[in-house]
Amino acid sequence: MVGLVGVVLIAHDVPLASHLREIERDRLTTSIERDAFTIGGQISPALATAEPQREQTIADIVGAFDVDSSSTVVVVDRNGYLISSTDPMHSLGDDYVSRPEIAAALLGNPSSGSRPSVTVGEDLVYVAVPVLSGAEVLGAVRITYPKSVLDARVNEQLRGLLIAAAVSIAMAIAVAILFARTVSRPLEDLRQATDELASGRLDVLAPESGPRETRQLARSFNSMAGRLGNLINRQKSFAGDASHQLRTPLTALRLRLEQASEAAATDPEATREHLEEALNETDRLTHLVEQLLQLARAEGSVLQSTNFDVAELVNERIEHWTYLAAERGIEIVAEDVVAVQAMTSELALREILDNYLDNAIEASPVGSRIEVIVVQEENDLDIVVRDHGRGLTDEQRRNAFDRFWRAPGDSNRRSGSGLGLAVDPSTRHTCGAVQPRYGDGVRARPSTAAPVTSDPRRESRRRTHRDSPHR
């Protein structure tokens, strides 16, 4: 921490000090230049005359002006000869034209800066201005300071900044000592817990002690450790879940493409419709893959709940499965589906319906039908998927949601994976609002306890799907 504060102070204060130094130097130079112009204005009438006493008059004006004792004021006439000086070592009549600042001022150009002085033996900061009478240059005034004097004044102005930096360093040292005592111990405990977790101890917990931030970090670590254990288990089952979940949209996509290929030569409109549906299936497949990855990587991921029309979703999934059912001589019927809104995860409900319809088609005999019923009971909503297959015993119903379980004597045992219903609990828990129920025959009933509202103006008429070209 001390090092960080030091770096910050260096990065901030060094450029700031340099900037303040330049500002202070410019301020002093401007002040000296103002004094030089003021003196020049006061001596201008005396320089314009040829009176014998003008040198004394100018000396009196310069002597009366309030200038710093460390400065030297020099006045020269238009030819560059010394008329007055506050330095007693100077001799009147000395030629100053060789000084570049004097030469520039006699040409009517004010100048300022610093240069080494052979006479004084050190660097000088100077300001030289012309003495004017109208447009005529009567002479020049030069004020000089030893550069060391101005540097001392600038450094004095910066002393406050240096004191503030020193106080900051001292405070940083004190805070660092206190921080090390109160934080390092809990952090060391957390580090040890992290090492144990990395070595494979998934049940390790970090002590929740120390400052509030450290306690929050420990709680986050403990939550992470718990979720990591669940994540490992989820990763083990991900391959099985993903393969089954992807099979349904891939099969539908293949059917759509086959139907588009068959209709390409005779029915362009049907071909376009099948291709559009194939693109929609591709989008659903992409979305499904993304959701499966989220489910596999994070324990407790929550699918977004939205308010949507359940009847519209049910009719969409029935239409989606009609083509596959028709190939097996099975009819899917939607009975008394009323437009109703529900707040839950549309994706989770879609996947559960797909799994139930898939299992119902697999279990239904040729020539039978599957009923899909949407029943609103006060604030609950039941979606019943009922087939007329062999049905399940009570024991089989209890095992129906176990992974890789398949009903004895099932004609689909060779091709089925036993994951169709097993995937639903994962989706259901992620959604948080969809629950399964079981009825007579085989009635799979996903139910939502979320608020539901019906719209009588959008009530759907009884809908029967018999129009498949594959019947």
pLDDT in tens, 383-411: 888 888 777 767 766 666 655 455 655 54
Q: Between β-strands 331-335 and 369-377, what pairing exists: parallel, antiparallel or unpaired?
A: parallel
Q: Which two tokens stand for residue 325?
A: 């059912």
> What pLDDT is attached to residue 19?
67
Q: Which two tokens stand for residue 24?
A: 């202070």
Residue in the block written with tokens 């297959």: 389
Alpha carbon distance, N-terminus to C-terminus of the chain: 77
> What pLDDT is attached to residue 234?
67
**How many CB atoms are located within 10 Å of the residue 144 CB?**
23
Q: 69 or 225: whose pLDDT is higher?
A: 225
The ranges assigned to domains in the chain are: 2-153, 204-299, 302-471
Q: Domain 204-299: state its class.
A: mainly alpha
**How many CB atoms are located within 10 Å of the residue 317 CB?**
23
Contact between 253 and 281 (Cβ < 8 Å): yes
Contact between 149 and 70 (Cβ < 8 Å): yes
Three-state SS for 415?
coil
Fold: same for 2-153 and 302-471: no
Q: Which CATH superfamily is domain 302-471 in?
A: Histidine kinase-like ATPase, C-terminal domain (3.30.565.10)
Encoded amino acid at 201, one letter:
R
Residues 61, 57: Cα–Cα separation, whole Å: 6
> What pLDDT is attached to residue 85?
87
Q: Which two tokens stand for residue 3?
A: 């090092």
pTM, whole model, 2 decimals?
Answer: 0.38
Q: What is the mean pLDDT of residues 237-251?
A: 73
Q: Which two tokens stand for residue 99?
A: 């000084």
Give the CA angle between residues 452, 456, 457 to the nearest 5°: 125
Q: What percent of the chain has pLDDT over 90?
A: 6
Three-state SS for 341?
strand
Sheet order of strands, 111-117 included? 82-85, 72-77, 136-146, 122-133, 111-117
Q: What is the mean pLDDT of residues 420-440?
A: 46
> What pLDDT is attached to residue 128?
92
Instruction: With a cut of 90, say whether residue 373 has pLDDT above it.
Output: no
Residue 375 pLDDT class (50, 70, 90 cuts): confident
- pLDDT tens per residue across span 27-65: 778 888 888 888 888 888 888 887 778 888 888 888 887
Strands (E) in 87-202, as ranges, are 111-117, 122-133, 136-146
Distances (CA, A) of 186 to 197, 201, 202, 219: 16, 19, 20, 12
Sheet order of strands, 306-309 included? 306-309, 340-344, 452-454
Rounded mean pLDDT of the chain?
A: 75
Give the right CATH number for 2-153 from 3.40.50.1970, 3.30.450.20, 2.60.40.1190, 1.20.1250.20.
3.30.450.20
Instruction: Choose the most confident range, by mean pLDDT, from 331-340, 389-398, 451-460.
Output: 331-340
Q: 133 or 291: whose pLDDT is higher?
A: 133
- Give the helix ranges, DSSP H, for 48-87: 54-64
